[in-house]
Amino acid sequence: MSSGKPAVVLLSGGLDSTTTLAIAKERGFELYALSFRYGQRHAVELEAASRVAAAFGVKRREVVDIDLRVFGGSALTDDIDVPHLSHGEAPRTGAIPVTYVPARNTIFLSFALGFAETIGSTDIFLGVNALDYSGYPDCRPEYLRAYEEVANLATKAAVEDGGRLSIHAPLIAMSKAQIIAAGMALGVDYAMTHSCYDPDENGRACRSCDSCYLRAKGFSELGLADPALG
Amino acid sequence: MSSGKPAVVLLSGGLDSTTTLAIAKERGFELYALSFRYGQRHAVELEAASRVAAAFGVKRREVVDIDLRVFGGSALTDDIDVPHLSHGEAPRTGAIPVTYVPARNTIFLSFALGFAETIGSTDIFLGVNALDYSGYPDCRPEYLRAYEEVANLATKAAVEDGGRLSIHAPLIAMSKAQIIAAGMALGVDYAMTHSCYDPDENGRACRSCDSCYLRAKGFSELGLADPALG
């Protein structure tokens, strides 16, 4: 077990957040994972997060219930259809996808901040990625820098102890293939992870949403098969 | 009814947020109120918010359930005793009070941001006050400016429409007496509001917590009786 500084890691159980957890561990942090039940259409995501947390010896994991449905407006939480791609088709780039949830990362980071403050941590990790998800405004480096500024003004630790809180986004500039390669070098078993936006009732990936597309592309670029696909 | 621009107002049902709602209305905004059920010890706060929303013709009010107890660490949500003052004693200043909830305003603002994005609003009002609550790090003007920066980087509106989102904190530099005077000039009936941190089982104010102290001082400086006290 690590005896390093505590870090809060946002853990959805997907490929990106799992790799981020592995990176935080490799950097010597003691791991505190935070997951959310936010009206997702599927529970398979949280089950993946649970497996991953156990595999990495996470010291404490919290699952926070939040109701984002009250705001509506996203295919991940509403009745809006998740878009599916035809074979060979690539996701739209530039535009903000319908799977965008209003203020989601801001809400997630705010809970992470509260958790960090409670356990005396000054390090928050999240697996956002500016390349594959250029359509999400809250995945951009300038957004994260601004949030770090807020974190440093918002907390008791920052005021009383002069502690400097850091938001770590180690995947921010990596391609999906680079993320997978980095994770495999750290021993991540991607069979445990779940990325699909629209799995079937047995939790099997649809293989045609944006998230499945990007994941498949990443493994394919490395000449590998996705171990999570049967 | 107002036909102005929509604004999201954080409404706890206390003296400050009620005055803030009145100010937003006076400025011509169409009112959308957001309240939270966050493991408070008492429901009387939400009942006050409901009365106030009705009195001001709020177009839509949402109550979001969030569980801050998972983080612990505050007398407002935990078993920690709310401090009570002896007659004539003033609250401690400077230090962060035990009634501070980690990252609370950051979490509340993040939900307000999601709500604002959903209804197409670029204006968020909150009743924070830098004078009476100098002990809360997330009530300071520099915190709010930093949050505004995050809001402008986080949202679809900011990216796609170039919309500029504003965080309004009209009470930030006012004393409690000034807040009460401003609210009365706008027709606020403070009998509807609730401020106590530690009411009895009938919802009656304790008259000796920091919040009761500041409220009583405000009315007293104006030579008025608090209409919420029987």
Q: What is the pLDDT of residue A133?
A: 58
The C-alpha angle with vertex A195 and arms to A190 and A196, in degrees rounded to 5, equals 135
Domains of chain A, by residue range, sit at: 6-221
Letter string b/e over residues A93-109, b meaning 16 or more CB atoms within 10 A of that residue's CB: eeeebbbbbbbbbbbbb
Q: Which chain B residue lies closest to A103 (C-alpha atoms)?
A: B114
Nearest CB among B68, B109, B118 relative to A102 is that of B118
CATH of domain B6-221: 3.40.50.620
Nearest CB among B102, B113, B149 relative to A103 is that of B113
CA distance B18 to A61: 37
Is residue A125 within 8 Å of residue A16, measured between CB atoms? no
Residue A168 has pLDDT above 70, yes or no: yes
Section B193-211 average pLDDT: 82
Tell if the CB–CB gap between B66 and A64 is shorter than 8 Å. yes
Which has the minimum average pLDDT: A57-61, A91-95, A124-128, B169-173?
A91-95
Which has the minimum average pLDDT: A75-84, A137-146, B203-212?
A75-84
Q: Please, what is the average pLDDT of chain B?
A: 84
The residue type found at A179 is: I
B71 chain-A contacts, CB cut-off 8 A: 114-115, 117-118
Residue A172 has pLDDT above 80, yes or no: yes
Q: What is the pLDDT of residue A151?
A: 92
Cα–Cα distances in Å, from B137 out to A148, B101, B141? Answer: 15, 11, 10
Give residues with Cβ within 8 angstroms of B127, minimum separation 6.
B10, B12, B14, B16, B17, B18, B19, B20, B169, B170, B171
* Any B CB within 8 A of A148 CB: no
* Any B CB within 8 A of A138 CB: yes
For the stretch B5-19, pLDDT in tens is: 999 999 999 999 999
A154 chain-B contacts, CB cut-off 8 A: 103, 105-106, 137-138, 143
Residue A97 has pLDDT above 70, yes or no: no
Q: Between A164 and A157, whose confidence is greater?
A: A164
Per cent of chain B over pLDDT 90 is 49
* Any B CB within 8 A of A96 CB: yes
> pTM of whole model > 0.95?
no
For the stretch B90-128, pLDDT in tens is: 655 555 555 566 788 899 999 999 999 888 899 999 999
Q: What is the pLDDT of residue B95?
A: 52
Instruction: Using the Cα atoms of residue A12, residue A14, residue A19 and residue A20 in order, give the sign of their dihedral.
Output: negative
CA distance A66 to A62: 12
Nearest CB among A64, A113, A138 relative to B106 is that of A113
* Any A CB within 8 A of B61 CB: no
Tell if the CB–CB gap between B146 and A143 is shorter than 8 Å. no
Nearest CB among A65, A113, A146 relative to B153 is that of A146
For the stretch B117-156, pLDDT in tens is: 888 899 999 999 877 655 678 888 899 999 999 999 887 7
Tell if the CB–CB gap between B110 and A100 is shorter than 8 Å. no
Mutate to test the interface with B, among A70, A115, A161 (most CBs of B within 10 A): A70
Q: Which chain A residue lies closest to B138 (C-alpha atoms)?
A: A154
Mutate to test the interface with B, among A36, A140, A144, A156 (most CBs of B within 10 A): A156
Nearest CB among A65, A96, A114 relative to B160 is that of A96
